[in-house]
Structures are given as structure tokens and as C-alpha cells.
A and B are shown apart, each in its own frame.
Chain A
Amino acid sequence: MQPFREVFWNIGYHYVFYSLAALATGVCLYGLFRRWLLWRSGWREKRDGGFDMGLVLRRIFLNTSIFKGDPLGGITHVCIMWGFIILFFGTALSTIDHWIISYLRGDLYLVYAFVLDIAGIALMAGVALAYLRRYVFKREKMVTIARDTTVLVLLFFIALTGFMVEGFRLRAQTLSWREPSPVGQWIAGVSGLSVPEAIAAHRLWWWIHAASSLFLIAYLPFSKFIHVFAASFNLTLEGMRFNSYLSLEEREALKSDFSFRHLVMCDACTQCNRCAVVCPSSIAKEPLSPRKVIDETGRFVRRKSGFGLVPHPGETALAKANAVEGDPVWFCTTCSHCQRECPNAISPMDVIREIRAARVEGGEDVPVNIQEMLESVYKFKNPWQGAKGKRMDWASGLDVPVLSEGAKESRCFYVGCTFAYDSRLQEVPRSAVAVFRAAGFGFAVLGKDEACCSEFIRGVGEDGLFTELAEGNVDAFDRHGITEIVTPCPHGFHTFTNEYARMRPSMKERRVLHVSQALETILASGALALENRGERTVTFHDPCFLGRRNGVYDAPRNVLKSIPGVRLVEMARSREKSLCCGGGGGRMWVEAGEGEKIAEIRVREAAGTGAGTIVTACPFCFSNMDDAVKTAGFEGRIVVKDLTELVAESLPGGKTG
């Protein structure tokens, strides 16, 4: 006789089982359908184009994003996930075998039985690992809520009872072949039951196993397991490069609070807390936790959607200002570290921005300093209340070509507000001018036509003001026939490259460079012979909007390596793991928390490398860390410099205008 397994061996009342199975499936489908309706109540995002299907599949099926930074976590998840998938489809295959076409016979059956046993072992091992990590070793980063325990216990119980059923069956049956099921055989051996006892035990535990499995199916969309669908879906949406940018007209017409993708994100979150571990605000013990934002937003949306079959999107419309209570939303620096760390491609930062936008539109619950900054941008076109007539003060005595005064040049040097108005930071554009001139790198500035890039205006949710200023800037670029923009500010660099380009087609034609990229090209061309100004050890602080947001890590480092006498040492948190200075997302204008400031933590880390200079390439990073050097007591031990200044200092004959 060929090896095979008789389905429903020893089991009667098949109709009871099938009724329960239909009920469980129905509940599951109902739950998923409700979630689908809820997601669909969100507004539609648009795509940037492109789809890296390989990346999406690797993340979903090989869990590459879970392995990143936590290999044991990856192994745990792969064991549980693949154990679960194989067992689920194994059961489905045997159903097909039973009802449609009989094929699990002979060698195929033996392989089938063996694989399923291994999958069961993997599932139990994964659950055990997860249990150990969560409850025994109590990894600090993990937060545990009741539903974490529920799913682990349920999975373990189902796997265990599955093995018991198998073991009792093998004990009770007399087979002409030996089933390659190590755990089943082992249980059959150690159970010590007589055949009638084994038959009775098999029947009892079969029903318990079936009931708990069916319960899991029914419970799935209402538990943490919703992430099975939502996370896979969200990873796909991210791979398809959906983004939350809307034009003002589209934004005005919105009838719901969050986008489809934002709502999927809330269900995709498994509360793994990896985001809070890297969040600069959480690290500085401020009130913000990205995980909590997603958790609270998810609860808010589900509460608002009610218990009816169809959620009421109208009811939630523009109530999102209250999705997260109080100040936490104003602490986000939009550094995007949470998004990068999230195994499920959730972007708490995007959700926070939506909540901020609703608060700004309501006009209340906006910190006074942020209001004043916004009013300054509205009135003066810069966030520092600088008079319009003083925008070119930084260039006094340099005789810089100014486009608004008739200069003709296709390459625009966009200075940015903070570099233009801050008396210390004015040295940076002055240095850039010196380097450009020494290298014969043609440029002109916008002069009076330059307005705030407004990257952080969008970051705090004032989309109208952002659009107004952005339109003005693009008009100026168009009017002056600009084909290339070079800016020392990563915030301008980011918004020109990403947001402006979504707004106006002419921006897609333009080449936008951060000054570090221009310097890299200039130095690589050999146009400048830099001189040694003494041996120095420096460390580079990656600005979030240059590095993590736009992947420019090497250009500033290559520039540093080209300066004679400069030795670069890296901080533990560098490149994509860089710790934000605490200045993005409007945080330059929000009072910091009570404890150690984010920038102080960063300066301490920089000082720990033994470097005497912190080099950065962003006005906010500069200001924050320059202050922190003083407040954290590192004055005289470490200085902050902009990358461009360092290059200019090494120009032959020193910095000249």
C-alpha cells in the first residue's frame, strides 16, 4: 500500500467541522472587508513612478527588512512566518487532496509529511524564541501589550496540539510504512498510550486543534495578525513609491483625514518599537514616540469609523488634528530615521505631518514660536524676520553676480535664508563664493528674487504657505533660465529635488546639487590645489536631509578626504544611522524638552571620537551643534565647521573673495 494519510481518519461530524470552518472564514473575511473599507475611506496618493518588485518580494518573503540590525529577530520572524505559511498551505493541500484530486500518495506524501513536521518545529522554535526575547531577556526596546501574548500563546498552542494529534494518530494506526515525522513519532513513542487510548486522545485533541486553528483564522483581522496583510500591502505601496504630496486644490477637496496608505500603515504596525529606539526625540526623552503616534492614530481612526459595516469617512473628515493628543506631534524633526528603521515601511513622520496640517489649518494648538516663524515667512519670505532688503548682506564686498539685478547665468547658487541672515553662518556662502571663483565655477544668485525654500514650512503642515513660496521660487528659476541649482542647504536641496519636482514639471528638467556634490566634482577635476593647513581630525555629521532623505553620504566624505591634512573619523551613528541634530521639521522653533538636548547628545558622541572639529553641511545642524558645544561644556575642545568653510580655508593664499 502506498503511503498516504486518510483525511478525517477517526473523526465524525464532518458537517460540524465544515460549519465552524465556514463561520471562521466568514468572520475573517468580514474583518478584512471592514479594514478594506476603512482603508478605502482614505484619500488617494500619487506615485512617483517606478516599482522595485524584487525589493518588495525580498522584504515580504525573506524578511530582509526585519533582519536589518536584528538578525535574531529576523530568524524568529522567518521561523514563525514560514512555519505558519507552510502549515496553512499544507492543510489547504490536503483539503484539495481530499475533495478535488487525490495526489498526496507515495513518495510525495512522505515528503509532504516531513516538510510539515519541519514547519511545525520551525513555528514552535520561532514562537519560543519570540517568547524568550520578549519575556525572559526582556529586550529593553520592546513594549508588550496583551495582544502580543495572545498571538504567541495561540500559535504555540496550535503547533503543539497539531503535533499531539499526529503523535496519537501514529500511535493508533498500524501503517505498512514509517512516516518521516520526527516529532510525531517521538510523541507516539513517549505517550505510552494503548491503541484505544490513543484513538480517544486523537479524537479529543483533533477537535481542540481544529477549534483553536479556526479561532485563529476568525481572530486574524482583529489581532496583531492584521499585519500579515497590512504590512505586506504597505511594503508594496512603498515599493510603488506612493507619496503624500497633494496640490492645494486637491487638498482643499479632501473629504477624509488620512490617505489610504496612512491608514494601511496604522494596521501594518506591529508595535516592534524599532522606530522609538532611533527617534532623536525619544532618545532625548521628549514626549514623542513614533510608535505611539501610529498606535494612537490607528485607534482614533477605528473609533471614528464606528462599528457599522461601512465606516463613515465623512465623520472623520478633518478631525485628525486630535488623532494624537497634545504636543508630541510638534517634537518630530522629520529626520526619517523611524521610516528607515521600520521593517514594514511605515512612516510615522507622514502621519504626523497630516496631523500638523490639520492643526495649522484650525489655527489652534500650534506652538507660538511656530506661528511667529510662519508669519515671518509670510511677511518677509524668511523665517528669521530678516528685512527683505538685507537678504544680500552676506555678500557685502564680494561683488557677487545677482540675477535679479540683470546678471546672466544658467547656474543658480541658492543661498537659503539661514545662511543669508545669520551673521556667523554668512561665512558659509562667502566661502562657497571663494571656492567657486578659485575653481572658475560660474554662478549667480537670485538676490531679491530668492525666497525661503519652505521645506520645513511643509514639514510643519502649512501647505498653503509652502506652495505660495515654492511657486515663487520656481517662477524665479524659470524667469532667469536656470538649468542648474547649487545650494549649501540640504533642506532646499531636498525640497527642490523632491517636492518642487512633483509640483512643477520645469523642476524635473533642472539639475539640483547640494554644495557638497559640486565641491566633490570640482575637487575631483583637479581644478583646485588645496594646501595643508595643519593636521586635523574631523568627524562628519550627516544632515538628515542630505543623507537619509536623499542618499548623499559619499560626496561630503570625498570632499573631506581631498583636503590635505584632514583625517576623517566616523561616529558610531553615521551615514544612514546618523542622529539628527534636532533641528528639522520646524524644531528650530520649538522649545526642546527638559533633559539633555538632542544636539548635546550628538556633540558628546562627536567628542567621543577624539575629533577636534565637527563638520556638517546644513545651517540647522550647524546652529544646533554650535550651541550644544557651548551648553554641553565642550567649548575649546571641539568646534563646528561647515564643509564649505573647510575647503575655503585650504585654498591657496587662504580664503579670498
Chain B
Amino acid sequence: MEILVCVKKVPDTADAEVVLKPGGTGIKEDDLASGINEWDNYAVEEAIRIKETHGGTVTVATIGSAESEDVLRRCLAMGADNAIMIDDAAFKGADPYGIARGLRGLAGKGFYDLILAGAQAGDDGFAMVGPVLAGYLGWPHATLVTSIFLEGRMIKVTRELEGGLEEMLKIELPAVLTIQTGINEPRYVSIMGIRKVRAKEIPVLDPAAIGLAPGETGVNANLVRRTGLAVPPAGKEAEMIKGTPAEIARKILDIVKERGGVV
């Protein structure tokens, strides 16, 4: 089983105070920590588990620059066999279609049975690259995957639906799957582990090397254009509950009951 996992380095915005750049073109990343996109981390772990059970190799790829190398090293330390970097110089401002074209070019250079990607990215949250890549390749795909079972050239997957439902699918390989968080418990990656793969070579490919014409990348090739970024206006003022701790607790319980939080 040859598996390609597409990963991305994103700024950690979950608990941070996000500040817009002037003009609303992006966010200030100076004070933000960054690392592998959370969904991608689950995808890498899942690929490695499949390899550990069924054999084969795991290749991780990112469209990025020297700054993203640590994310690839981290994946190698987790147990990926190879890492490939596609130089992102030509991909600045690319939309999900542009990114998917880049990955299509890369996928065309290998003999992959399965391509995994995170269900979405923590920064732009498009959740498109996986499905679009499948479209470009003409492969079947499934999104929000919560489990994968191999059955010869078929895979059985479950997908997370709304309302607590789970959908079971049978898909023929090769296929593209986008992975939902919680599919597994990703292993811890130690600094010692990363150090041990520090000498491993990571090839850097330019668009030409993966068969992309100059017009296929970058802002001008975009089908989707970002026109602005804004902090949504604050909602109604929060209600401050006053009283002794016991009274506060009772009032909170009442509110939760009122809204149907407690059955």
C-alpha cells in the first residue's frame, strides 16, 4: 500500500488573540505559534497505522518553504518513509484549486493507492483540497472519514454525518480520503525522534518538476478569490451572573436546563 499524505503548516489560532493585518488581507502571525494542521496530524497517524498493519510506504508532502520543513521532519519522526516539499514560491495566494493542481502533479509522479488529507485546514477552513484533487485525478473520494478498513483493492470507510449519524462506504482504490479528527490518537513526536531524522533528505520540487505550466499556479489561476477578512461584529452583551458561588451555580444550571442542555 503506497500512501500519500498531504499536510500543511498553519498558525495556531485556537486559543490565541488573532489580529488582522491592516487592510484585512490576512492575520498577523508574529506572535502566533504554528505547526502541523490538526486534521493532517490525524491523517499522518492513520497512514502510518495502515502501513504498520499492511506494509507499504507513507510519503508526506506539503506545498511550502523552508519554514515548513519542521512539519515534514515531524511526520518523518512519526514514521513516514519519505517527505517531499513542493516549493510554494509559485503558489503564493493560490486557492484550493491551485493547491490541488500542485498535488495532482505530485500524485502523478508516484504510484499511490491512497491519498489522505486533513478534512480541512485550521487557517482557511475550505475543506476543498481533497475533493478537488480527487476530481482532477478522476479518483473516488470520501470526506470526514472516521475509520478505514482495507479489503483487498477495496476500502471500507465510515464518514461522520450530522446528527450523530455515521455513513459506511465501500470505495475502490485508488482513492482520496479526507480525515476527520478523532479517527485515532496520534502518537507523541519527541524532539529526540525528530533529531533522528534530521539528516534525511527532503527533495524540493518546483512546479515544472511536477508538470505544471506557469499559468496553472498563483493568484491569476484562482477560481476563488478572497476579497476580505474581518472580525465578525460582537453579538449581544454577555449576561454577568451575580451572587454567591452556590447561587451562581444554580442560575447556570437553570440556563443550561432552559436551553435543553440537560435532559
Q: Are B192 and A251 in contact (CB under 8 A)?
A: yes
B201 within 8 A of A: no
Stretch of B12-20, B130-138, B232-240 that contacts chain A: B12-20
Q: Which residues of A contact B188 (CB under 8 A)?
A: 360, 363-364, 366, 371, 374-375
B193 within 8 A of A: yes
Q: Are A387 and B17 in contact (CB under 8 A)?
A: yes
Q: Are A464 and B31 in contact (CB under 8 A)?
A: no
Asked whether A462 and B15 contact (CB < 8 A) given A248-B195, A252-B196, the answer is no
Q: Are A363 and B187 in contact (CB under 8 A)?
A: yes
CA distance A248 to B195 in the complex (A): 9
Question: Would you list 29 pairs from A and B whose C-beta atoms are within 8 A, ordered by A residue?
Answer: A248-B191, A248-B195, A251-B192, A252-B192, A252-B195, A360-B190, A361-B190, A361-B192, A361-B193, A363-B78, A363-B189, A363-B193, A364-B187, A364-B188, A366-B188, A374-B188, A379-B33, A385-B15, A387-B15, A387-B31, A389-B17, A389-B31, A462-B190, A463-B191, A464-B191, A464-B192, A464-B195, A465-B190, A468-B191
Q: Are B12 and A379 in contact (CB under 8 A)?
A: yes
Interface 1/0s, chain A 100-142, versus B by CB < 8 A?
A: 0000000000000000000000000000000000000000000
CA distance A379 to B191 in the complex (A): 12
B185 within 8 A of A: yes
**Would you list which residues of chain B between 176 and 201 have a CB under 8 Å from chain A?**
185, 187-196
A467 within 8 A of B: yes
CA distance A379 to B36 in the complex (A): 11
Q: Are A368 and B185 in contact (CB under 8 A)?
A: yes
**Would you list which residues of chain A between 358 and 396 have a CB under 8 Å from chain B?**
360-364, 366, 368, 371, 374-375, 378-380, 385, 387-389
In the assembled complex, how far is the CB of residue A232 from the closest CB belonging to chain B, in whole angstroms? 35
Interface 1/0s, chain A 198-218, versus B by CB < 8 A?
A: 000000000000000000000
CA distance A379 to B31 in the complex (A): 11
**Would you list which residues of chain B between 159 and 214 have a CB under 8 Å from chain A?**
185, 187-196
The 3 closest A-B CB pairs, nearest first, are A464-B191, A363-B187, A379-B33
Q: Which residues of B contact A364 (CB under 8 A)?
A: 187-188
B35 within 8 A of A: yes
| Nearest B residue to A469, CB-CB | B191
Q: Are A248 and B17 in contact (CB under 8 A)?
A: no
Number of interface residues of A (CB under 8 A): 26
**Would you list which residues of chain A between 51 and 97 have a CB under 8 Å from chain B?**
none
| Nearest B residue to A380, CB-CB | B33
Q: Are B192 and A463 in contact (CB under 8 A)?
A: yes
CA distance A452 to B189 in the complex (A): 19
Q: Are A387 and B35 in contact (CB under 8 A)?
A: no
Q: Which residues of B contact A248 (CB under 8 A)?
A: 191-192, 195
Majority DSSP secondary structure for residues of A touching B: helix
| Nearest A residue to B187, CB-CB | A363
Q: Which residues of B contact A385 (CB under 8 A)?
A: 15
Interface 1/0s, chain A 248-278, versus B by CB < 8 A?
A: 1001100000000000000000000000000
Q: Which residues of A contact B195 (CB under 8 A)?
A: 248, 252, 464
In the assembled complex, how far is the CB of residue A570 from the closest CB belonging to chain B, in whole angstroms? 33
Interface 1/0s, chain A 540-579, versus B by CB < 8 A?
A: 0000000000000000000000000000000000000000
Candidates A379, A388, A389, A464; contact of B190 at CB < 8 Å? A464
Q: Which residues of B contact A378 (CB under 8 A)?
A: 35, 191
Q: Which residues of B contact A363 (CB under 8 A)?
A: 78, 187-190, 193
Q: Which residues of B contact A463 (CB under 8 A)?
A: 191-192
In the assembled complex, how far is the CB of residue A582 from the closest CB belonging to chain B, in whole angstroms? 23
Q: Which residues of B contact A252 (CB under 8 A)?
A: 192, 195-196
Majority DSSP secondary structure for residues of B touching A: loop
Which range holds the interface residue count of chain B? 10 to 19
CA distance A388 to B195 in the complex (A): 25
CA distance A627 to B17 in the complex (A): 29
| Nearest B residue to A379, CB-CB | B33
5 additional A-B residue pairs with CB within 8 Å, beyond A252-B192, A464-B195: A252-B195, A374-B188, A387-B15, A389-B17, A464-B190
| Nearest B residue to A360, CB-CB | B190
CA distance A387 to B191 in the complex (A): 21
CA distance A368 to B187 in the complex (A): 9
Candidates A366, A388, A465; contact of B31 at CB < 8 Å? A388
Interface 1/0s, chain B 1-42, versus A by CB < 8 A?
A: 000000000001001110000000000000101010000000
Q: Which residues of B contact A380 (CB under 8 A)?
A: 33
In the assembled complex, how far is the CB of residue B208 from the closest CB belonging to chain A, in whole angstroms? 35
CA distance A388 to B29 in the complex (A): 12
CA distance A252 to B191 in the complex (A): 11
CA distance A519 to B33 in the complex (A): 37
| Nearest B residue to A251, CB-CB | B192
CA distance A368 to B188 in the complex (A): 9
| Nearest A residue to B17, CB-CB | A387
| Nearest A residue to B78, CB-CB | A363
CA distance A363 to B191 in the complex (A): 11
| Nearest A residue to B31, CB-CB | A389
| Nearest B residue to A467, CB-CB | B191
| Nearest A residue to B77, CB-CB | A363
CA distance A281 to B191 in the complex (A): 29
CA distance A483 to B31 in the complex (A): 29
In the assembled complex, how far is the CB of residue A147 from the closest CB belonging to chain B, in whole angstroms? 38
In the assembled complex, how far is the CB of residue A388 from the closest CB belonging to chain B, in whole angstroms? 6
CA distance A360 to B187 in the complex (A): 9
CA distance A387 to B78 in the complex (A): 26
In the assembled complex, how far is the CB of residue B171 from the closest CB belonging to chain A, in whole angstroms? 29
| Nearest B residue to A457, CB-CB | B191
In the assembled complex, how far is the CB of residue A365 from the closest CB belonging to chain B, in whole angstroms? 9
Q: Which residues of A contact B35 (CB under 8 A)?
A: 378-379
CA distance A637 to B10 in the complex (A): 49
CA distance A362 to B191 in the complex (A): 11
In the assembled complex, how far is the CB of residue A124 from the closest CB belonging to chain B, in whole angstroms? 54
**Would you list which residues of chain B between 74 and 92 have a CB under 8 Å from chain A?**
78
CA distance A368 to B16 in the complex (A): 22
Q: Which residues of B contact A462 (CB under 8 A)?
A: 190-191
Interface 1/0s, chain A 340-367, versus B by CB < 8 A?
A: 0000000000000000000011111010
In the assembled complex, how far is the CB of residue A179 from the closest CB belonging to chain B, in whole angstroms? 68
CA distance A489 to B188 in the complex (A): 27
In the assembled complex, how far is the CB of residue B185 from the closest CB belonging to chain A, in whole angstroms? 7
Q: Which residues of B contact A371 (CB under 8 A)?
A: 188
CA distance A375 to B15 in the complex (A): 14
CA distance A8 to B8 in the complex (A): 86
CA distance A252 to B196 in the complex (A): 8
Interface 1/0s, chain A 451-483, versus B by CB < 8 A?
A: 000000000001111011000000000000000
| Nearest A residue to B192, CB-CB | A464
CA distance A465 to B187 in the complex (A): 16
CA distance A329 to B78 in the complex (A): 23
Of B31, B33, B189, B192, the most chain A CB neighbours within 10 A belong to B192
| Nearest B residue to A385, CB-CB | B15
Q: Which residues of A contact B12 (CB under 8 A)?
A: 379
Asked whether A465 and B33 contact (CB < 8 A) given A368-B185, A385-B15, the answer is no
Of B33, B188, B196, the most chain A CB neighbours within 10 A belong to B188
In the assembled complex, how far is the CB of residue A133 from the closest CB belonging to chain B, in whole angstroms? 46
Asked whether A387 and B196 contact (CB < 8 A) given A366-B188, A368-B185, A380-B33, the answer is no
Candidates A366, A374, A379, A464; contact of B194 at CB < 8 Å? A464
Of B15, B33, B35, the most chain A CB neighbours within 10 A belong to B33
Q: Which residues of B contact A362 (CB under 8 A)?
A: 187
Q: Which residues of B contact A388 (CB under 8 A)?
A: 31, 33
| Nearest B residue to A370, CB-CB | B188
| Nearest B residue to A389, CB-CB | B31
